[in-house]
Amino acid sequence: MDFSVLISEFPTLTVDGIALGFIYVLIALGYTMVYGVLRLINFANSEVFMIGTFASILIATQLFGHTIESEPLTGFKLVYTMLAMLLGAMIISGLVSVLVEIVAYRRLRAVTTNRLTSLISAIGVSIFLAEGVRILTSSAPMGAPRLLDKITLVTIFGADIRIDILLVIVFAIILLVCLDIFVNKTRLGKGIRAVSMDYDTAKLMGININKVISTTFLVGGIGTGAAAFFYVTVYEVTVFRIGFELGIAAFTAAVLGGIGNIRGAFAGGLALGLIEMYSSAIFGTQWKSITAFVILVLVLLFRPNGIFGESLQQARV
């Protein structure tokens, strides 16, 4: 145990932790929204993230012809390349997520009430996607070209706020506000809240359940895709097994806050990002994921439904 690093690097760790936390929040949406509506662990969401990271890099390398050696871009060119990567990752992840719902969940929902069946079917999809990408990439990690020159904008209390970290935080907040408006103000959002409150009654009230569920998967996938883009921008590398590692962390974040609850995912994701950064400073990076799980166990022992409890209908970001 070594607290000196924690104390000397505290501001930097906090900034990094918040950035990582926002990535977790966005992935956690894919778990928590689906859980809110279907009461199912959306196991394949981790692979939706993985595909988003690859989509984002491939758009930069294949569509715009950048390579690892490319010089960072500036001006208008930078803006539209980054936007294309972000939107591309969001759209592709969203579509994969909807496809996962159709393949893994839709038919099963009609014929069985056994939730484990859907879990195994989702695990099947998850293995299929991860293995497919592993074969296509020959298990090799894929580096992302550094399009954004990572300059330090300001230094607050000794913490360097890099432009990519600021970008993650700003865009994540914008996306979460959009999500809040969508869930609370639109007709489809009302449908999602109704289904998560009471599935049967919502159906009786004439809500098109399949449409609502597809939308939930789409929105969750879009959030996960955005997280994939941010991850690629900050960490600049991806590999076929990335989904598994980040997925477990994001799921932990969702449970920490209270799964099914968007506000909970927000708090849980940020808390987990910070905890992971601080604990790796104290105990060393190899203990990082253990601390997260230990905290999770402790929280669940005292608050068995997560910090905020589970309910999507009172969702406020």
Residue 155 Cβ, how far from another protein at the closest point, in Å? Answer: 34
Residues in the chain: 317
Among residues 67, 75, 154, 200, which is the contact residue for another protein, using CB under 8 A? Answer: 200
Q: Is 51 exposed, middle or buried (0-12, 13-18, 19+ CB in 10 A)?
A: buried
Residue range at the interface with another protein (CB under 8 A); choices 70-78, 124-132, 156-164, 182-190: 124-132
Residue range at the interface with another protein (CB under 8 A); choices 9-17, 115-123, 148-156, 168-176: 115-123
Q: Is 92 exposed, middle or buried (0-12, 13-18, 19+ CB in 10 A)?
A: buried
Give the helix/strand (H/E) hosting 142. Answer: strand 142-143
The answer to whether 305 contacts another protein (rule: CB under 8 A) is: yes
Residue 101 Cβ, how far from another protein at the closest point, in Å? Answer: 13
Collapse the DSSP code of 41 into the 3-class scheme (helix H, G, I; strand E, B; otherwise coil) and give the result. coil
Distances (CA, A) of 13 to 81, 219, 254: 29, 30, 22
Q: Are 33 and 191 in contact (CB under 8 A)?
A: no
Per the listing, tokens 């706020």 go with 161
The answer to whether 108 contacts another protein (rule: CB under 8 A) is: yes
Residue range at the interface with another protein (CB under 8 A); choices 49-57, 160-168, 171-179, 299-307: 299-307
Residue 14 vs 252, nearer CB to another protein: 252
Interactions with another protein, residue window 218-247 (CB under 8 A) = none
The answer to whether 301 contacts another protein (rule: CB under 8 A) is: yes
Beta pairing partners, 152: 162
CA distance 72 to 128: 35
Backbone phi and psi for residue 239, each to the nearest 5 degrees, phi listed first? -155, 160
Q: Are 227 and 26 in contact (CB under 8 A)?
A: yes
The answer to whether 248 contacts another protein (rule: CB under 8 A) is: yes
Among residues 79, 83, 120, 156, which is the contact residue for another protein, using CB under 8 A? Answer: 120
Residue 62 vs 138, nearer CB to another protein: 138
Residues of this chain that bind another protein (CB under 8 A):
35, 41, 103-104, 107-109, 111-114, 116-121, 123-129, 131-132, 135, 199-200, 203, 248, 251-252, 255, 259, 286-287, 289-290, 292-294, 296-297, 300-301, 304-306
